[in-house]
Amino acid sequence: MHLPMFVATTLGDEILDLKKQRRAILLAHHYQAPEIQELADVVGDSLELARKALAFEGDVIAFCGVWFMAETAKVLNPHRVVVVPDREASCSLVDSCPVQPVREFRRAHPEYTIVSYINTSIEVKAESDILCTSRNAVKVVNSIPPEKPILFLPDVNLGNYVKRQTGRANLKIWQGACIVHATFAARKLAEVQVQHPEAQIVAHPECPEAVLAMADFVGSTSAIIEYCAASQAREFIVMTESGIQYSLEHKAAGKRFYFVPNENCNCSECPYMKLNTLEKLRDCLETLEPRVELPAETMARALAPLERMLAVK
């Protein structure tokens, strides 16, 4: 008697089978759940994933992150299908920066160069002159002639960090914030530092200035991982979203990492990032929904500032 053969024995197997059938690539941000990162072809921060979305052979991009990241992938791959496991995976920074006030600012102040953080909607990107990520924001601002006034949007903490690093007095900053990073408190960080006095502090530039002032290193998600892997230190207090722990433990094996709960909850998780699950990833590969569909004119306008960002070395 022959037992029936199952094509997929686990949810992960189902996803990998669907990925092969769809000729898909799985892109995952560092803040995704470990089981999603385990299956991904590429795990990275916003800049790395934008670059990876440019060059691959296939038909479908399954973007395990938040919606604005998938929009960026679609702009770079207008003829490919781009899907996200959960359509509600948004971003507080996107929500803090609606497009209409940005359009009004551009009309009222045509002399300004608009630098938009990649954590913005596709419509805001289309109104921008150049984009940036937390990894290259300082380089992007330094690439703009010093006499040009700049509107930096939407993250106030990243904007203030860039202003301090570049010394640009003519840099106006939007007042948006990340619901995870902006609610990290220096008081709570100090409490954890007392418990782990030998630990180095690494922080994302979306954190408040008081937190950044305490840090041994400030950098993007991937830059934090690289720093911890290369450092001689054995312990780190990590001031960013706790999903980074998966990559830290793989790339800096044997070291210890401590996460500080923010003021909103007793955790340091992004609720939007955690909306994506393996079940939803399987379903989106199966149905090719939710699918990112964007107007061609908006994509064309957003492509120019995106390409300018990618050209900055």
**171 belongs to a structural domain:** yes
**159 belongs to a structural domain:** yes
**212 belongs to a structural domain:** yes
Structurally, how many domains does the chain consist of?
A: 3
193 & 168 share domain: no
50 & 76 share domain: yes
How does 237-272 read in b/e, with b if 16+ C-beta sit within 10 Å? bbbbbbbbbbbbeeebeebebebbbbeeeeebbbeb
Question: What is the reported pLDDT for 52?
Answer: 83
Question: What is the reported pLDDT for 265?
Answer: 66
Give the residue ranges of the chain where pLDDT is below 50.
1-8
**127 belongs to a structural domain:** yes
Q: Find, among 48, 38, 69, 40, the residue nearest to 225 by Cα.
A: 48
**116 belongs to a structural domain:** yes
25 & 80 share domain: yes
**311 belongs to a structural domain:** no
HEC per residue, 251-293: HCCCCEEEECCCCCCCCCCCCCHHHCCHHHHHHHHHHCCCECC
Burial of 3 (0-12, 13-18, 19+ CB in 10 A): exposed
User: Three-state DSSP class for 305?
Assistant: helix
**300 belongs to a structural domain:** no
229 & 261 share domain: yes
242 & 265 share domain: yes
**200 belongs to a structural domain:** yes
206 & 142 share domain: no
52 & 107 share domain: no
Question: What is the reported pLDDT for 3?
Answer: 34
Question: What is the reported pLDDT for 45?
Answer: 85
Question: What is the reported pLDDT for 46?
Answer: 78
Question: What is the reported pLDDT for 6?
Answer: 38
In the block, tokens 């450092």 appear at: 231
Q: What is the CATH number of the domain that holds 162?
A: 3.40.50.10800
Q: Give the rounded distance of the alpha carbon of 143 from its chain centre.
A: 22
Which domain covers residue 201, as residue numbers?
Answer: 181-269
29 & 69 share domain: yes
Q: Give the rounded distance of the alpha carbon of 46 from its chain centre.
A: 4
Neighbours of 56 (CB within 10 A): 15
158 & 237 share domain: no
Q: Give the rounded distance of the alpha carbon of 169 from its chain centre.
A: 27
The residue type of 137 is: A
